[in-house]
Chains A and B, each alone.
Chain A
Amino acid sequence: MMLAISVLKRLGAGFTLDVSFDARPGITMLFGASGSGKTTLLRCIAGLARPDGGRIAVGDRVLFDSTTRVNVAVQDRHVGYVFQQAALFPHMSLRENIGYGLNRLGTDERQARVSTIAESFRISEILDRRPAHVSGGERQRAALARALVTEPSLLLLDEPLSALDQTIQSRIMDDLRRANQARRIPMLYVTHSHREVYTLGQQAVVIDAGRVIARGTPHEVLDRPEQTVLANLAGFENVFNGVVVERRERAGTMECRVEGTDTELEVPLTASAVNARIRIAIRAGDILVGTEEPRGLSARNVLRARLIELIAHGPTMVAVVDAGARFIVHLTPTGVESLHLQPGDHVWLIVKTYSCRIVVDTPWQHS
């Protein structure tokens, strides 16, 4: 069954949510910065907020239509909703929480369904505990089970994993992928993490300032960001303004100078003419660091630079490096250790031509 969404909602202060898209069965990632309107959209679909206009339908079932004045009540929509903070009922055991939506069934049938879904989410052992006495990951798995056990025609997930650490996240993502294969209902998954978009999504819809700005598979959307806002969202830590210096049609590359520096980068060829202004986006994890000048490399961009700062950020070391332009580079702690890197060191940055993405939205202006 297909989910067809067209929602218009004014949110005050000149901000309007205005989106239309379809979602097939499977996981569709709704990706955008906080404040872009993702959560409001989910609330409109669930019936927790009322759109000013539009139409929401799952298959033939119309949940909302402003022209025919249809507005199905929340409790009659059969839409599963998983909240960011799980929103389990604190005064009930996990078993009671999961069985909450099955009150129309007999006790035996209800218990059987709760047990089955608890097993598939690996929480059978802790069903009699209260939410306060289980871990954050277990709470979120119970919330998923509670929403899915009622067999909704649609599942809405509002950043359900953002509060959890990465290992637990990836395990729950596996659970969710399995649940998705078994059920084949549309699942809308709101996130601001590009990592979740890559690992979980079959489709991605990018929302910015209340509008859909891109859609497609996660790789289509995130690997060739055509808008600067998308490059920032998609985890391109380095976005530079540049000018095309030379086009090498035969090599399929072009040489660009980073604005305000002498730093030149070889980047993939685009339609941009010489002297055209472009933006170059490079992921911090796609840049290599060497302590000696490297030889015999295929990479075309080897920049002499100085290490300014090293910051530990979770399991990654974030290096700020000055190569004329300032680069953000992600390193592993062991990498930092084996190179004996210290702030102030001279280093070499190595960037593959194809790690440089060209962003071609509005041309940048001299600042």
Chain B
Amino acid sequence: MDWQAMALTARLAALVSVILLVISLPLAHWLTFSRRRWTFLVESIVSLPLVLPPTALGFYLLMSMGSRSPLGRWWTEWTGHPLAFTFEGLVIASVLYTLPFAVQPVAAAFAQIDPNLREASATLGASGFRTFVRVTLPLSIEGVIAGLVLSFAHTVGEFGVVLMVGGNLPGITRTVSISIYDHVQALEYAQANQTALVLLAFSMLVLIAVYGLRRRPWAAAPIA
């Protein structure tokens, strides 16, 4: 069992989930409630990782993190080391790659709130922020938790982007999915099986938790 890879993966997934929670709440709010006509463009960009091959996404991320890109140069100047093939680079890549898994459940939960409730809050003198904290968020908490859990699970399971952006540096960028790949390459099937089995059990538990949270199967939770 590759404990180092497990710990690294858990740390990566936890960090990515928290960052995504902070990003996805305002982003999903804007996507759901904005009256601007071009929200669909942002929606498309957010959803891009759902359809784009991870290697393609990873390739562009690697290019934009390299020393020849503005981001890569700025990062090197600021921190003293390059972004590609580091844990920080992996975090940024994972956040982008997992963004739709965080935003979509939250946006879906926001969208099924009766619009009259948010309007009632406003007519009672509540600011937009108070309406969000007291009405919108509590009524979509299941979607927010689902987004958080899915972010964590999806980060644990990613492979292509990690390989492209992070490489395979033990303790820095070598996650469990890479570790399984390594074991198989070395014909160490027993070790590969051990790690894979842990991932399988973990994924199953996550899905049971997510669907268990919803009161109706295959649909956003109803809130009466």
Contacts and interface: CB of A to CB of B under 8 A. Distances in A.
Contacts of B119: 46, 48, 74, 81, 83, 87
Interface string B98-139: 000000000000000010110111111111001000110011
Contacts of B138: 91
A83 B116 contact: yes
Which bucket holds chain B's interface residue count? 10 to 19
B41 interface: no
B117 A79 contact: no
B223 interface: yes
B224 interface: yes
Which bucket holds chain A's interface residue count? 20 to 34
A150 B224 CA distance: 25
A43 to B, nearest CB: 8
B123 A132 contact: no
Interface string A149-167: 0100000000000000000
Interface in A88-146: 88-91, 100-101, 103-104, 132, 146
Nearest to B120: A87
A48 B123 CA distance: 9
For A77, A78, A100, A147, the residue with the greatest tally of chain B CB atoms inside 10 Å of its CB is: A100
A104 to B, nearest CB: 8
A197 B172 CA distance: 74
A147 B123 contact: yes
A59 B2 CA distance: 75
Nearest to A80: B123
Given A89-B117, A132-B224, A79 B124 contact: no
Contact of B120 (A76, A78, A83, A103): A83
Contacts of A80: 123
Which 10 A-B pairs rank lowest in CB-CB distance, beginning with the nearest?
A101-B124, A87-B116, A74-B122, A81-B123, A87-B120, A83-B116, A91-B138, A75-B122, A75-B125, A101-B125
Given A83-B119, A100-B124, A146-B120, 18 more contacts: A48-B119, A48-B123, A74-B119, A77-B123, A78-B125, A83-B116, A87-B117, A89-B120, A89-B121, A90-B117, A90-B224, A91-B138, A91-B223, A100-B121, A100-B134, A101-B126, A103-B130, A146-B124
